[in-house]
Structure 1
Amino acid sequence: MQSERRRFRTAALRRRLLAGVGVVALVASGGAAWAQQAQPAQPPQPGPDGLGPNAVYIEADSTTRTGDTITANGGEERVLARFRNTTLRAGEVAYDLNQGIASARDRVEFTDPDGNQIFASLLQIDSDLRAGVAVDFATRFRNGASLMAATAVRRGENLNELNYAIFTPCPICDEAGNTRQPSISIQAEKVVQDEGLRAILYRNAVFRVGGVPVFYLPVFSHPDPTVERASGFLVPIPSYDEGRGYSLEVPYLQVISPSEDWLISPQFNTDVAPFMNLQWRRRFSDGTIVLRGGYTYERNFGDFDIDNDGDVDGNVRFGDQTSRSYFLGQGAFDPAGPWRWGFTAERTSDKTLFDRYDVRDPYQDNGLYYGDQRRLISQLYAERQTERSYVSIAAFSIQSLRVKEFSPVTPALNIFESDGDLPFVGPLVEARWEPDGPVLGGRLRLRGSAVALTRDTYIGSPVLRPELIPGGPTAGLPGVDSRRVSGQVEWRRAMITAMGVRFEPFVDLRADLYSVSELPPMMGVDDGAITRSRATAGVDLSWPLIRRIGQDADLILEPMAQLSASTNPDRDVRIPNEDSPALELDESSLFRVDRFPGYDQIEGGIRLTTGARATLRWSGGRQASLFVGRSFREDDEPAFLTPVPDAPAQLYDPSGLSSDASDWVVQGSFSPSDGIRGWGHATIDSSGDVRRAEIAVDGRWGRRNLASASYIVDRSNPLAGPENRNYEFLQISGQQFIYGNWGVAASGIADMERDLITRSEVGLLFDDDCFRFEIGWRRDNTQVRPSGPSEGIYIRLNLATFGGTGYGQGDGR
């Protein structure tokens, strides 16, 4: 009965307060609303809380008025007041109609329009929410950071002053709601939160780790946690290298506007000149531009053999001082309509500049076309895409930073791939179109492609066919230029029988026009135009079968096959192989009509491709899948054999398709639980030898323990030589928490082809979700860094709100 009487009282009070809320709100707004009433105007729109800009909603157990002061009491459930998209809860709320000041006491909780919360035992604010006083003040930001003080005064619309305050980005309560000591905190005599500067300023700041004071600064500042970015110094990045010594990179972010900023990041080194890094970012209404660059004036340095006696003379600075720099720029624009365009501009003065100065993330996938690892691409492109059509136009050039031949003496003497080995590509046009609706009951697709490639340097294998590679010296020969235009028509229709057999008949017609010039004159072939064509007809068959195994498991078997017949294309020996030097044969490419990634290699004849996939699924998303497949043709294809780069007379098959039976394709995946998943792929030749394989397994247990392992091998070239590109790598990494937030972390990369560990590290870490610290020992033994192996202590620090160092620095080289 008492609760029913209370609900009746509350409902009656709501009606009385809502009836008078207009008067209170008008007074609270300083009389501005009275003037608006005399002018015809559009009615104000309600806010997210459903209230108008001058409306107030109050819930309370009782209310009294003494003179100009209205007091509301809430009892155990506290008073609830909503106004101007804010919420106020307190045991007692009083409002002075004359002065326009609201006072709240007893378990005060105030939430502003941005979702930030304020707690206090006493809170006073004016009618415009521009000034106020709080006792036992505490605020919690949207990102979880907390700021507490004995007293807090709001001096104006953008300025808060706190006395005897403490700030922490870490949680101050555990999952059960009990208070706990924050891992990181800053205690200060006075703290000023300047919302105009979007910064928090400290006087006599003491930094604490786990409650223990570790550092003192008379003045200190950092960005307000509610802002995404603000001008100021970021966390410094320490590092060490045998060539440049100890280094400290000190990044500074300068915010120009909400859509523009600069990152100025000088690297100071003990043994060589400083290196300056710059980055400019600008966001436009329909796109973004990011420009990066770096510069130093210094000699080359590394383990050089200066006197050519076969012995390394140590880590020295070698050669003349000169300007050394890099530039990495990219832009992407997507205006209204079907067109979009962009560019990348990537160049460096030295092949090993990124390695010597530890430039972060130099190899990124931007733009329409991507450069491979250790290759930089500069391109200009435009795209047009609709529901039924696509067209792209691009031009690009590539700078290679790859090692062509590793030196047995020192990495400083490695031989790098020449930029002239790679062509200038432009224009490159790709287009496709589909009609709106089926044609003969199936899908019709038209494709078109055109490209021009220009080379300055002669390249034999694998670009030229074996018949056109001279046996003698090739120095001074011009680079072979080529142009190609291709057109393709594809029709395919899917049908399913009553028994569930799915079959797709298809027809594929293709024609190519080539123009080749600057062929080696001693081979007795003429430049000119070359045409070829191919017609293919066939059918894809599959029959998915499913069977229930037990109460929570399904077994799915899917045998599949493809039978196709093609005319034999004219493989003119003058057609270069620019875009199809290698093939990654897998489940998706095995059943394609054109299995090579480009246009230069083309298949013909009669083919039968078979395969089967088995999938086992359990409840909870667990599954395991295995695919095995192979392709057969009536004759061998010697045109798919490729000369060994340093021995053109020797041929090998990098594709696995040159014989009448292709390599076996084996591919599988498994995830027996939420914490374990894996994937694997392999191609196996007819003799049972693995040509290529890749396996990866990830594991996670507990909340933060994890480990991963991956293995990749390529044995596609069985012929030895200095330019043999076979490789074999094993990579592992993991972290294990041992006690509370303390744990260990380790990682390593082993080059099993050269029998060395290229990179390894092991360290001790502390991580409590707002503060991660890691210290350990690291050895870098990559064979590209000219200063040779480097080892030493590494430190990584990541602080919530303040940023981090040592993470995301692009370890791949």
Structure 2
Amino acid sequence: MAFALPTGSLGQPISTGAGITPSPQLGAQSESGEHGDTAPAKPAADRNVDFEADEVDYSDDDNLVTAKGNVFLRRGDRTMRADSVVWNRDTGDIVANGNIRAVDADGNEMFTGSMKVDQDMTVGFTTNMLLLLREGGRLAADKGEKQADGTVLLTRVSYTGCDVVNSKGCATTPSWRINARRVIYDQKHKLVKFKAARLVVFGVPLVPLPTAIIATDGRAITGPLIPDLRSTASNGFELSEAEYIRLADDKDVTVKGYVFSKVDPMLQVNYRQLTDLGAFQLTGYVTRSPVVSATGTTIGNGQDQLRGYIDANGKFQLSPEWSVTFSGRLASDRTFLQRYYINNDDLLRSTINVEHIDKNSYFSLSGWAFQTLRTDELQGSVPIALPVLDYRRRIADPWLGGQFEIEANTLAITRTAGQDTQRAFTSAQYSLRRTTPWGQQFTFTGLARADAYHSSDNSLTATSIYQGLPGWQTRGVVLGAVDMTWPLVGAAFGGTQVITPHVQVVAAPSTPNLSIPNEDSRAIELEDDNLFALNRFPGYDRIEDGTRITYGLEWKLDVPRWSINANIGQSYRMTSKPTLLPDGTGLSGRMSDIVGRTEIRYRDLFKITHRYRLDKDTMGFRRNEIDAAVGSNKTYFEVGYVKLNRHFDPTIEDLQDSTELRAAARVAFARYLSIFGSGILDIDDKTVVNGQTLDKYQPLRTRLGFSYNSDCLEIDLTWRKDYVTIGDVAKGSSFELHFSLKNIGFR
């Protein structure tokens, strides 16, 4: 049976019998044009309380309606289920009893045995209640009673964000809870305010919480965050505490203070805002402390200096095609970020980029600036690239089915104490693919490009092959290539294998590369990734000319649970003319070195990747890189080994040799507990950090920690050791305690 209960008194009594007839709506207009007792403040559908029940009784004496058996009430987005409900038509109050489950407009659920609600279905009185918040929290109270201001006073309250039953449905003790004598439940503003509360972790009462507020609709609210503790060799004992301030639904700010035992305090501010077009955020740090250069020299006679760091980024989508992206980073000095454990970056990039992207074209107008934090690099030699313009368009070939791509690019590079370079080029590339009846796939490519360069102060570039000639230089580039692959598919080892021979021929006339400044094509080395590239130089400033043939083989095997992917290849130059490629790149001779990659995977439990470059004469490793991972997300072991033995000319930058071992592991036990660790080990004695040559087998950094991570609580205790002193970043051990409560207004 179903009928509607208006929020005020009825004009007509409800009828009884086999069917229950809905009563007239309060305030509905009569035929004579007169209204009911109360003027309508809301649409009638919103003011009515609709409900269903197995049985309904009506009492004329006390004007009560009693519903029994599977009672269901709804008013707008609020619902309630109970064994029985008594509705007082005079007062509008509803008293429910037995197995009550009430759901508010935000999806929060309340369970209790007895509850009184008003005509808006907001709580007036309840006992032994349990409130399940949609965001995951649970609040239990002995009693709740509505106050004069409309709030509900809850007594003897306990709140937790943890599950109170395990996976088998058995009761379990939550990792943490907040106990309070009194709690104000503000249903109108959707807030739960704790009074005289205390945080209990693993059954042990800890810090008191004079003011703790939770939003029942899951939104962030203003309030303090949980502090962090740390101890470092540079700053001593550290305590940090943050205050979150919600300025509006679309903006907030977090202010965080740091107190140290060895140095002055530090302030951090983070501002975030969401707009109709996008979002942005700004983070800043500021403090005062003595500054020591990377070489150990004290700056400013040891007096405190103003130090800090700014990081801003954002993106705005102006239309489906147009967007603006920006990022800016600036530090006061080269050791600030490491000194205060913000990050270990050695180069800060700032950029702004205006982009237009559609189905067949791409446009970008951007600018880049860099701040070096490297101890052996002068800031004046670091480039500023402004403007950088790039435009590309694809045009379908209506005759043969190929595709044209045209590109225009220009940039200007400026240095305050180095070489300045300006570049512009236009290019056109045509590609055509064909498949033979036997399955061979041919790709024909033609490229034509015209370049113009202007440079000055070329002698300030230390590496001569990068300088180019000063003044105006021009270059024309023509390139043609034929690429053939032949995938051969068949059954093998109970699975499927694909063997793909790959042959490529590329031809380009001699190009005056050395007269052109080299800004973006410096880090050249033969790898499996660029073996079949049309131009194996990165960037645009160098072109690999001459005629070469490249050949290789790829093998893929997929069997139940296992997969293998391997490739190997080499190239041969058809000309004996000297090449500008330096020794050690694997490309300096007519016959190149051999490069390849092998990847073996077993489901998601094991993966090993081996990348290598073999000397064409001795078959010795010039590059030997192994990365392996075994385990699951909870328990795993990862190891990485890289040995670069390329014998580059030491006067060439960016391409030095090294040997390094990296390892990381995490072992989970007892459901929520785990230990973790990681380390970086220098195996040879060639690595140089801050002008110091590291000893053989010297660690660079190690880390070891213990973690408790459940559905509602995270505790991490981490030990870290740095083995090299850089300026005022002292080597030594540091300890950090991180504590986080989940499903609560705290971090």
**1:735 aligns with one of 666, 671, 674:** 666
Evaluate the alpha carbon distance shift between residue 539 and residue 94 of structure 1 in structure 2; reply closer, same or farther with a 3 A threshold.
farther
Aligned to 2:349: 377
- Matched residues in 2 for 1:156 and 1:710: separation? 67
Matched, 1:511 2:428: no
SS across alignment from 1:345: strand
Does the 8 Å contact 1:388/1:436 carry over to 2?
A: no
Does the 8 Å contact 1:733/1:746 carry over to 2?
A: yes
- Matched residues in 1 for 2:625 and 2:215: separation? 46
TM-score normalized by the length of structure 1: 0.80
Does the 8 Å contact 1:198/1:230 carry over to 2?
A: no
The correspondence of residues 305-454 of structure 1 with structure 2, limited to 5 A, is 319-359=302-342, 361=343, 373-404=345-376, 417-435=377-395, 438=398, 440-454=400-414
Evaluate the alpha carbon distance shift between residue 289 and residue 206 of structure 1 in structure 2; reply closer, same or farther with a 3 A threshold.
closer
1:227-265 deviations in Å (ceiling 9; x for gaps): 342212212122222222111121222211111122211
Aligned to 1:745: 676
Aligned to 2:125: 133
Aligned to 1:627: 567
Does the 8 Å contact 1:261/1:280 carry over to 2?
A: yes
**2:423 aligns with one of 484, 491, 497:** 484
The residue identity in structure 2 corresponding to 1:402 is: R
Alignment RMSD = 3.5
Deviation at 1:293, TM superposition (A): 1.5
- Matched residues in 1 for 2:652 and 2:437: separation? 59
Aligned to 1:546: 489
Deviation at 1:546, TM superposition (A): 1.7
Deviation at 1:717, TM superposition (A): 4.5
Aligned to 2:226: 235
Deviation at 1:339, TM superposition (A): 2.0
The residue identity in structure 1 corresponding to 2:68 is: N
- Matched residues in 2 for 1:527 and 1:614: separation? 48
Does the 8 Å contact 1:636/1:658 carry over to 2?
A: no
Evaluate the alpha carbon distance shift between residue 447 and residue 94 of structure 1 in structure 2; reply closer, same or farther with a 3 A threshold.
same
SS across alignment from 1:354: helix
Instruction: Say which is worse superposed, 160-169 or 298-307, in terms of deviation.
Output: 298-307
Aligned to 1:603: 544
Does the 8 Å contact 2:117/2:125 carry over to 1?
A: yes
1:543-563 deviations in Å (ceiling 9; x for gaps): 112222365x21122222212
Evaluate the alpha carbon distance shift between residue 60 and residue 506 of structure 1 in structure 2; reply closer, same or farther with a 3 A threshold.
same
**2:722 aligns with one of 780, 790, 794:** 780
- Matched residues in 2 for 1:611 and 1:38: separation? 90
Does the 8 Å contact 2:409/2:426 carry over to 1?
A: yes
Aligned to 1:172: 164
Does the 8 Å contact 2:224/2:746 carry over to 1?
A: no
The correspondence of residues 386-785 of structure 1 with structure 2, limited to 5 A, is 386-404=358-376, 417-435=377-395, 438=398, 440-457=400-417, 479-520=418-459, 527-549=470-492, 553-571=495-513, 573-583=514-524, 585-619=526-560, 622-635=562-575, 638-641=578-581, 652-653=583-584, 655-686=585-616, 687-701=618-632, 704-719=634-649, 725-753=656-684, 754=694, 755-784=697-726
Instruction: Say which is worse superposed, 789-798 or 217-226, in terms of deviation.
Output: 217-226
Give the fraction of aligned pairs with identical amino acids, expressed as a percent: 23
- Matched residues in 1 for 2:484 and 2:64: separation? 84
Does the 8 Å contact 1:513/1:529 carry over to 2?
A: yes
Aligned residues: 711
- Matched residues in 2 for 1:665 and 1:18: separation? 86
TM-score normalized by the length of structure 2: 0.87
Structure with bigger helix share is 1
Aligned to 2:177: 185
Does the 8 Å contact 2:156/2:179 carry over to 1?
A: yes
Evaluate the alpha carbon distance shift between residue 93 and residue 546 of structure 1 in structure 2; reply closer, same or farther with a 3 A threshold.
farther
The residue identity in structure 2 corresponding to 1:610 is: Y
Matched, 1:268 2:259: yes
Aligned to 2:12: none
- Matched residues in 2 for 1:400 and 1:508: separation? 37
Matched, 1:124 2:116: yes
SS across alignment from 1:420: helix
Structure 1 residues not aligned, in runs of 5+: 1-8, 308-315, 364-372, 405-416, 458-478, 643-651, 806-813
Does the 8 Å contact 2:220/2:745 carry over to 1?
A: no
The correspondence of residues 186-335 of structure 1 with structure 2, limited to 5 A, is 186-194=178-186, 199-210=191-202, 212-215=203-206, 217=208, 219-224=210-215, 226-300=217-291, 319-335=302-318
- Matched residues in 2 for 1:494 and 1:525: separation? 37
- Matched residues in 2 for 1:525 and 1:332: separation? 37
SS across alignment from 2:167: coil
1:124-151 deviations in Å (ceiling 9; x for gaps): 2112134422211101112221101111
The residue identity in structure 1 corresponding to 2:639 is: A
Evaluate the alpha carbon distance shift between residue 682 and residue 22 of structure 1 in structure 2; reply closer, same or farther with a 3 A threshold.
farther
The residue identity in structure 2 corresponding to 1:390 is: Y
Aligned to 1:105: 97
